[in-house]
Amino acid sequence: MAFELSVNLEYGFTEAGERIEDRIAAAAAAGFRKVELFLLKGRDIESIGKALADHDMQLISTVADYVTQLVDPETHDGFCEVFRQAAGDAKALGCSNVVVTSGRGVPWLKRPVQLGIFADALRKLVPIAEELDVTIMLESANTRHDHPGVLCSTTGDSVVVAEMVDSPRVRVLYDLYHSVVEGEDPEAELAAALHLVDHIQIADAPGRGEPGSGAIDWPQQIAMLERLGYSGVIGIECQPGKPSGEAFAYIQSLCR
């Protein structure tokens, strides 16, 4: 089967310039129809929306916040307002997926307790997600290289928390790069998590470069996704070492 690709424009098509609108145009010219962004706060939502419409592009995910430490209950009410703003901006751009991460853990609480506090924060977000008709996408990030100290560092962490909340509004974003760097077996992790996974992101390892630049066997991984029955979008979230159109051609050819 073929897989549709999206590209994160914080890293991809940066050669088109600082303006996200210009990166949208460049991605469209390279054959993409879906894109992803990090924070929308402070950006010109109307202008980005026009660029998406002009190039027949769809924004499929954005991030609520990078740094809030949701293991601290004192942050939960404030994060509800952060999430509401992020979700409202996303919906204004036709996007229904808002990524939420745990933030850093703490050394003085046992891990199950911390995951439970994170789940409490998400329970407060669920009514907002229902009101605005968005999905909360939980993403784990590796603690070994990119995000030292993060609470949710394994795929299983996100699965456990999503199952604690037990809401159709809380789903899992599986990032194959973070999974590999964390020492996981992607097939084993996805087989256990696929009932919750709505989106997959990729980059090569080591280095977080474009697929084909590192040690991951991409034909094998794409075949694995097909074998497990994944049918969603694959998001390229990497730091390309060459012009983006050239860097992404390999994974585009594999996914056609």
For 21-49, the pLDDT digits (tens) are 999 999 999 999 999 999 999 999 999 99
Q: What CATH number did the domain enclosing 125 receive?
A: 3.20.20.150
- CA dist 57 → 29, 164, 249 (Å): 11, 35, 19
**Strand 170-175 to 135-139 pairing:** parallel
In this prediction, residue 66 carries a pLDDT of: 87
Output helix, strand, coil percentages for the chain, rounded to the nearest 5: 45, 15, 40
Domain that holds residue 186: 5-255
Our count of domains for the chain comes to 1
Q: How far apart are CA 165 and CA 121, in angstroms?
A: 10
In this prediction, residue 76 carries a pLDDT of: 98
Per-residue pLDDT in tens (0 to 9) along the chain, 256 residues: 689 999 999 999 999 999 999 999 999 999 999 999 999 999 999 999 999 999 999 999 999 998 999 999 999 999 999 999 999 999 999 999 999 999 999 999 999 999 999 999 999 999 999 999 999 999 999 999 989 999 999 999 999 999 999 999 999 999 999 999 999 999 999 999 999 999 999 999 999 999 999 999 999 999 999 999 999 999 999 999 999 999 999 999 999 8
